[in-house]
A and B are shown apart, each in its own frame.
Chain A
Amino acid sequence: MFEFLLRMGDNTLVLGHRVSEWCGHSPVLEEDIALANIALDMIGQTRLWLGLAGEVEGQGRDADALAFRRDVWDFRNLLIVERPNRDYGHTLMRQFLFDLWHHERLADLCLSSDDRVAGIAAKCVKEADYHLERSIDLVVRLGDGTAESHAKMQAALEALWPYVGEMFVDDGLDVEMAEQGIAPLPSSQRARFDAALDRALARATLIRPESDFAQKGGRSGTHTEDLGHMLATMQFLQRAYPDARW
């Protein structure tokens, strides 16, 4: 259960952090404000998931201790969320692919046999619903927009595609969670994800890559090089001044 909650909380922690890196640097003021809202939602969700994880673990660690005092190998997020921002199209495509998965996942978790999980999911799914609407909207518009915006979105899709498969791989923990009715198997989401993806890509005039090769490892603690750098920045104050309260 603890690991399962880390998987949920680390996704939003890491992606919320990546999105917050844009603050003050996005293409237009309206977008800066919208993106900050998404980051704020994700950080808020992180506090709920990691807060519950700390409770379940029972070792006196709260959400902050889990976020700021674990090393890379203890993180359980999907690799896609730690991929660097690159250009704005890359950021939006990463958000779109994540939101497609995340929204379905949360909708499923609303039916969890664990009331605490169902409660958090019910709160988060409303936010994820809005994120998904915005993400689809922007991907469709930019895919269709100019030759340049189309090319950037197609390139981003291809660069991120190898990180999609990991969302739907079942492992031992997933089987255990499914047996207890806490969370359905990730693989059970794939068909719905594909259908929604194909609908959006068709409107966006983007082509879905053929390959089904998937980069994996994030959910069991083997990450890309980028996560270590992100944590070095994010955890700096807590690591350098371990006695301080902020």
Chain B
Amino acid sequence: MYAQEVKSTGKGVKALEEMSAEERAFQERIDAGEKIEPKDWMPDGYRKTLVRQISQHGHSEVVGQLPEGNWITRAPTLERKSILLAKVQDEAGHGLYLYSAAETLGVSRADLIDDLLAGRAKYSSIFNYPTLNWADMGAVGWLVDGAAIVNQVALQRTSYGPYSRAMVRICKEESFHARQGYDIMMKMAGGTAAQKQMAQDALDRLWWPALMMFGPPDADSVHSAQSMAWKIKVMTNDEGRQKFVDQTIPQIEYLGLEVPDQDAVLDAESGHYRFTDPDWREFFEVLKGNGPCNVDRLRARNMAHDEGAWFREGLMAHAKKQQIAAE
């Protein structure tokens, strides 16, 4: 998964000559392709933007366990159950890698999680949509992880060392996710009439939310300029979305399913597809908390956290007793 950029500071990017000596040295290191490491000097804005982006990315992974977790107990074969479980487990791992990367910037995981549970932090809008039939497990892996990969492959080049290294690790694991998803879709699209119907239904529902994953159009995303200069973001929202559409439409055709966007057409001159924008009003409503599953997702995370408190405290208490006994 990935982080969705929506908030804007409204500030433009400073020119090199307007910067302090420190800021300039910092920007020059980034321009030279150097990685910034945890103890290096960095502008406050860089640190803040990174903490927000990496933690949103981490939250997305953690909340992202839920829509697929919804089908683990109903997976149709032992092998499918194993694959899905391994995949959702990877999402937890990715959340953990990302929180760790954020922690190198001086925040604690506990505080980040508190922000998520209290509804103060954002996570990707896609996970506020429900998974309603088994083909959704295919469509999520194929479309949602597919969209995430477009972003994450680019983010391996991000300027912050720990974030970049987390992305490298995540990308290695993520291609398994997209492939297992497409494998399910192939089985469903080539299966019985009912299976094919499930496949089309899943595609129709998840297509538009998948396009939204890249964030609002570049024109409405002022914040991007500074993030791009800092290489916290390395691809614009529209670039990512275009790349995703271009790679996905032929995959839909291969499956023999209908492209949910009837106006999507290949522009012979540019080699890119022209396609219809998703409903941005819906997108902003989902971000505000009004998606079909926002309440349920946060409730599930809160329950897991609250009901697990005694477990976390019990283990810590034992460790402290042992430490005292050893001293």
**A142–B88 CB distance below 8 A:** no
Residue from A87, A140, A142, A233 in contact with B307 in the complex, judged by beta carbons closer than 8 Å:
A87
- Contact, CB under 8 Å: A148 / B304: no
26 interchain pairs, CB-CB under 8 A: A20-B72, A21-B72, A24-B69, A25-B304, A28-B308, A29-B96, A32-B89, A33-B96, A36-B85, A36-B86, A36-B92, A40-B85, A40-B89, A43-B82, A64-B78, A142-B315, A144-B317, A145-B315, A146-B314, A234-B73, A234-B74, A237-B134, A241-B192, A244-B76, A244-B194, A246-B76
- Shortest beta-carbon distance from A202 to chain B in Å: 15
Instruction: Judge if B172 is at the interface, Cβ distance under 8 Å.
Output: no
A141-B315, A145-B313, A145-B314 given; A21·B73 CB < 8 A: yes
CB distance from A64 to the nearest CB of B (A): 5
- Kindly provide the distance from the CB of B307 to the nearest chain A CB, expressed in whole angstroms: 7
Name A149's contact: one of B93, B192, B311 (CB within 8 Å).
Answer: B311
User: Whole-angstrom distance between the alpha carbons of A114 and B22 in the complex?
Assistant: 73
- Given A33-B89, A238-B76, A246-B80, the answer on whether A23 and B65 have CB atoms closer than 8 Å is yes
Does A142 contact B318, Cβ atoms closer than 8 Å?
A: yes
A4 proximity list for chain B (CB < 8 A): none
Q: Mark A203-221, 1 if CB is under 8 A from B, else 0.
A: 0000000000000000000
**Least CB distance, B98 to chain A, in whole angstroms:** 10
Q: Is the Cβ of B78 less than 8 Å from the Cβ of A29? A: no
Number of interface residues of B (CB under 8 A): 48
* A236 at the B interface (CB under 8 A): yes
Neighbouring A residues of B92 by C-beta, 8 Å: 24, 29, 32-33, 36
Flag if B317 contacts A149 (CB, 8 Å).
Answer: yes
Bound: A106/B192 CA distance, A? 41
Asked if A47 and B78 sit within 8 Å, CB to CB, the answer is: yes
Question: How would you classify the secondary structure of chain A's contact residues: helix, strand, loop or mixed?
Answer: helix
B16 to chain A, nearest CB (A): 41
Known contacts A43-B78, A245-B187, A246-B77: does B66 contact A24 (CB below 8 Å)?
yes
Q: Which residues of B contact A149 (CB under 8 A)?
A: 310-311, 313-315, 317
Q: Hey, which chain B residues are within 8 Å of A21, CB to CB?
A: 72-73
**Contact yes or no, A20 B85, CB < 8 A:** yes
State whether the Cβ of B81 lies closer than 8 Å to any Cβ in chain A: yes
Contact with A along B294-327 (1 / 0, CB 8 A): 0000001001110111111111111101000000
Name the interface size band of chain A: 35 or more
Q: State the CA gap A43–B89 with chains docked (Å).
A: 15
Which B residues touch A245, using CB under 8 A? 187, 191
Q: Provide the bound-state CA to CA distance between A150 and B314, in Å.
A: 8
Interface membership of B195, Cβ < 8 A:
yes
**Nearest residue, chain B, Cβ from A87:** B307
Interface string of B270-283 (1 = CB under 8 A from A): 00000000000000
CB contact under 8 A between A152 and B310, given known A20-B73, A233-B74, A237-B76: yes
**Which residues from chain B contact A31 at a C-beta distance below 8 Å?**
308, 311
B187 contacts across to A, CB distance below 8 A: 245-246
A88 at the B interface (CB under 8 A): yes
Proximity string of chain A (133-172) to chain B, C-beta cutoff 8 Å, 1 when within and 0 when not:
0000010111011101110100000000000000000000
Residues on the B chain within 8 Å of A43, using CB: 78, 81-82, 85
A146 touching B317 in the complex, CB below 8 Å, given contacts A20-B85, A24-B88, A40-B85: yes
Instruction: Give the interface centre of B69, B79, B99, B311 by most chain A CB atoms within 10 Å.
Output: B311
B101 at the A interface (CB under 8 A): no
> How distant is the Cα of A27 from the Cα of B86 in the complex, in angstroms?
19
**Quick check: B304 and A26 within 8 Å, CB to CB?**
yes
Q: Which chain A residue lies CB-closest to B187?
A: A246
Given the interface contacts A63-B78, A236-B74, does A27 sit within 8 Å of B312 by beta carbon?
Answer: yes
Question: For the complex, what is the distance from the CA of A89 to the CA of B305, rounded to whole Å?
Answer: 14
Q: A68 interface residue, CB < 8 Å from B?
A: yes
A30 to chain B: which residues have CB within 8 Å? 96
B contact residues around A141 at 8 Å (CB): 314-315, 318-319
What residues of A have a CB within 8 angstroms of the CB of B72 in the complex? 20-21, 23
Q: Is A39 an interface residue (CB 8 A)?
A: yes
In the complex, the answer to whether B307 meets A68 with C-beta atoms within 8 Å is: no
| A39-B303 in contact (CB<8A) | no
